[in-house]
Amino acid sequence: MIIALFPNEKKPKSFELGTHICAFLEKRGVQVVVEDEKASRIGAPPLSSVDPKSINFLIAMGGDGTLLRISHNFRYLDAPILGINLGHLGFMADVPINDVDASLNDLLEGKYTIDHRLALEAQKNSKTLFAVNDIVVHRAQNYSLIELSIYVDDIYLNTFVADGIIIATPNGSTAYSLAAGGPILSPSLDALVITPICPHTISNRPIVLTGNHTIRIDYLSSYDPIDVRADGLDALALHSQETLIVKPSQKKFKLVNLFRHDYFSILRSKLGWSGKLK
């Protein structure tokens, strides 16, 4: 078995944890490699020293942002990701630091499932963005609201006059879309949600669609270029009268789901819900 570690350089504790995890796994016969630029700080071989197809798992040490970075920068790796949280409780990085050893044991003993979660692609001409959480179209430097016409499989849905629009996966429904008033979608759903950002007409509400649709966004306003951003990371500019196409990606986002951690308890804790089991 080969496991690749991905520390977060902005969290110094991740290198200390990485050294511990490396020793823990190697004692159990696991070959460990580390993201190239950070391998020397943990004392393990670099990721590039092995065949990417031979890697069984990726372990992210940081938070949800670290998992998103891996999904963007290492798309060629097809192994599922286990997230260890070093900051605030994450939805994807759901292993708390005080449960690392037990969680790693469960991983090695096969006490998990693999979630194959919906991801998106946004295309403008020959430029393509990949997103695990969301594709966000925002007015950027424009002072006024912008007009965006939305089509679902070439059928007209609506023209939103708003700060922008969010197209989110279930994975991303607890991120920006939630803050903009969108619903929470169970991560196992094959669905997406279109959420307007501060629409001028308050009757414009989020809409949930099955995940097999192609969404077309036409930028109608005669203003400056607007911003299209994938997971808050990769970006492109959309000019007036240009079109963006958003559709399901053939590549799924693979996440390790340990039996010892469940999504709903994470949801309750993250959102501060006060309900109690009777």
Residue 101 one-letter amino acid: D
Q: Give me the catalytic one of 36, 64, 234, 262.
A: 64
The CA radius of gyration of the chain, in Å to the nearest whole number, is 20
212/82 Cα distance (integer angstroms): 27
Quick one: which of 67, 21, 72, 4 has its CA closest to 251? Answer: 72
Of 254, 24, 217, which is closest to residue 136 (Cα–Cα)? 217
CA distance 59 to 70: 10
- Count of CB atoms situated within 10 Å of the CB of 89: 15
Half-sphere exposure of 117 (CA within 13 A, CB side): 27
Q: How far apart are CA 91 and CA 71, in angstroms?
A: 15
Q: What's the Cα-to-Cα distance from 223 to each of 166, 228, 238, rounded to whole Å?
A: 20, 15, 11
What is d(CA 166, CA 175) in angstroms, rounded to the nearest whole number? 10
Separation between Cα atoms, residue 131 and residue 122, nearest integer Å: 8
Q: Is 262 a catalytic residue?
A: no
Provide the 10 A C-beta neighbour count for residue 51. Answer: 7
Three-state secondary structure string covering 146-163? EEEEEEECCEEEEEEEEC
Instruction: State the catalytic residues.
Output: 64
